């Protein structure tokens, strides 16, 4: 692992450090990307200093976790050098079947789901286990106790949430404090130049009260912020492969796509060859509570190009941030500048 150019941040209010860019398996590992290519993207990321790899029980019906575990064994990486996360909620099996208690955050599923995830990962523990979505049907106390059980039994070091509201996170912390248990130290929301309100407004009180960390997904809005969709949907692209909801988002994104195209000259100001995607990724990392931005990759070249964004973060000053806001026209109202 070459960590000379990679940057590392604390995972929220913990003493554990994660690479500011991490590699995730959503829609790639065990899915659209062949296994050997996926393993090579992991290897390229690791060799560039990435120490944080993210997965979930529901990614490709468990195949993403299997692939991650196989890659770590195959490449002979030291488990103690890595930060591995997975997520529980959806409970899909490889054949797509689901038992009556396979979905949600009941204590029963949390314990069973973790056991199966660790088997697929070929690990004794994960560093972070997330509640992949809030569960309206399970009492919050049961959820908090369930995830604390995983910590107390050594199956996980920390627990976090993904796509929870600030109210739900606060509720989890109130219960954890009352029971002298551990609250969620990190949230995994979508955050990028297009999706801003939750991270910049809704979660603001959580940063002050808990120093909540963020491991954000879709920092490039599934490729939209790279500019590759500015002239339509290229053959073989993610929108072309997935169709349905994502293809519709691209086709209806005329105004935003036009704004994305206007970011290109700003990217070039940061240096020769700097891309819109690298600018967008560096912009995401400017948020002080972002511990890590999770990228997906379908090629080694894509990994290497995205990792160049790390070197751009310190070059983005307040003046450039203001100009980016002018181009995007979507800065949430009523909040101070994020990076003073």
Q: ∠188-167-117 over CA atoms, to 5°?
A: 35
Average pLDDT over residues 26-36: 81
- Report pLDDT for 230: 59
- Report pLDDT for 54: 98
Q: What is the mean pLDDT of the chain?
A: 91
Confidence band for 312, pLDDT divided at 50, 70 and 90: very high
Query: 239 lies in a domain?
Result: no
What CATH number corresponds to the domain at position 145? 3.20.20.100
Separation between Cα atoms, residue 315 and residue 330, nearest integer Å: 22
Domain, as residue range, for 15:
8-220+287-300
pLDDT in tens, 117-160: 999 999 999 999 999 999 999 999 999 999 999 999 999 999 99
Query: 251 lies in a domain?
Result: no
pLDDT in tens, 270-289: 999 999 999 999 999 999 99
Query: 335 lies in a domain?
Result: no
- Report pLDDT for 231: 54
- Report pLDDT for 98: 82
Structural domain count, the chain: 1
Highest mean pLDDT: which of 28-37, 118-127, 328-337?
118-127
Query: 29 lies in a domain?
Result: yes
Q: Does residue 92 register a pLDDT over 80?
A: no
- Residues marked active site are found at 59
Confidence band for 234, pLDDT divided at 50, 70 and 90: low
Query: 278 lies in a domain?
Result: no
- The three-state DSSP-derived secondary structure of the chain is CCCCCCCEEECCCCCCEEECEEEECCCCECCCECHHHHHHHHHHHHHCCCCEEECCCCHHHHHHHHHHHHHHHHHCCCHHHCEEEEEECCCCCCCCCCCCCCCCCCHHHHHHHHHHHHHHHCCCCEEEEEECCCCCCCCHHHHHHHHHHHHHCCCEEEEEECCCCHHHHHHHHHHHHHCCCCCCCEECCECCCCCCHHHHHHCHHHHHHHCCEEEEECCCHHHHHHCCCCCCCCCCCHHHHHCHHHHHHHHCCHHHHHHHHCCHHHHHCCCCCCCHHHHHHHHHHCCCCEEEEEECCCCHHHHHHHHHHHHHHHHCCHHHHHHHHHHHCCCCCCCCCCCC
Query: 269 lies in a domain?
Result: no
Confidence band for 235, pLDDT divided at 50, 70 and 90: low
Query: 176 lies in a domain?
Result: yes
Average pLDDT over residues 299-305: 96
Query: How many other β-carbons are positioned within 10 Å of the β-carbon of residue 329?
Result: 9
Separation between Cα atoms, residue 197 and residue 199, nearest integer Å: 6
- Report pLDDT for 82: 98
Q: Could you tell me if 293 and 219 are in contact, meaning their C-beta atoms sit under 8 angstroms apart?
A: yes
CB proximity list for 321: less than 8 A, separation 6 or greater: 283, 286, 337, 338, 339
Query: 136 lies in a domain?
Result: yes
Average pLDDT over residues 316-331: 94
CB proximity list for 83: less than 8 A, separation 6 or greater: 11, 16, 18, 22, 51, 52, 53, 127, 128
């Amino acid at each position: 692992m070459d960590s000379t150019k990679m940057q590392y941040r604390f995972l929220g209010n913990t003493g554990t450090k994660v690479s500011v860019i991490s590699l995730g398996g959503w829609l790639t590992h065990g899915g659209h990307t062949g296994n050997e290519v996926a393993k090579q993207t992991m290897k390229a990321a690791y060799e560039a200093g990435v120490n944080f790899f993210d997965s979930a029980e529901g990614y490709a019906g468990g195949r993403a976790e299997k692939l991650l575990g196989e890659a770590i064994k195959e490449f002979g990486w030291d488990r103690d050098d890595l930060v591995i996360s997975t997520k529980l909620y959806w409970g899909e099996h490889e054949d797509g079947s689901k038992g009556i208690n396979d979905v949600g955050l009941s204590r029963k599923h949390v314990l069973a789901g973790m056991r199966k995830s660790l088997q697929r990962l070929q690990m004794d523990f994960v560093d972070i286990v997330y509640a992949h979505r809030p569960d309206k049907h399970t009492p919050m106390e049961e959820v908090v106790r369930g995830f604390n059980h995983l910590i107390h039994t050594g199956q996980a070091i920390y627990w976090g949430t993904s796509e929870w509201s600030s109210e739900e996170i606060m509720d989890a912390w109130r219960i954890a404090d009352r029971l002298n248990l551990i609250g969620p130290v990190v949230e995994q929301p979508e955050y990028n130049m297009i999706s801003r309100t939750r991270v910049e407004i809704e979660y603001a009180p959580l940063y002050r009260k808990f120093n909540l960390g963020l491991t954000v997904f879709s920092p490039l809005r599934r490729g939209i912020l790279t500019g590759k969709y500015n002239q339509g949907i290229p053959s073989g692209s993610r929108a072309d492969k997935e169709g349905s909801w994502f293809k519709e988002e691209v086709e209806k994104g005329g105004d935003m796509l036009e704004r994305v195209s206007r970011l290109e000259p700003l990217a070039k100001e940061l240096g020769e060859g700097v891309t819109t995607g690298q600018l967008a990724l560096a912009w995401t990392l400017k948020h002080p509570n972002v511990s890590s931005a999770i990228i997906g990759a379908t090629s080694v070249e894509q990994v290497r190009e995205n990792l160049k964004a790390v070197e751009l973060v310190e070059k983005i000053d307040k003046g450039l941030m203001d100009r980016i806001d002018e181009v995007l026209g979507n800065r949430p109202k009523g909040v101070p500048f994020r990076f003073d």
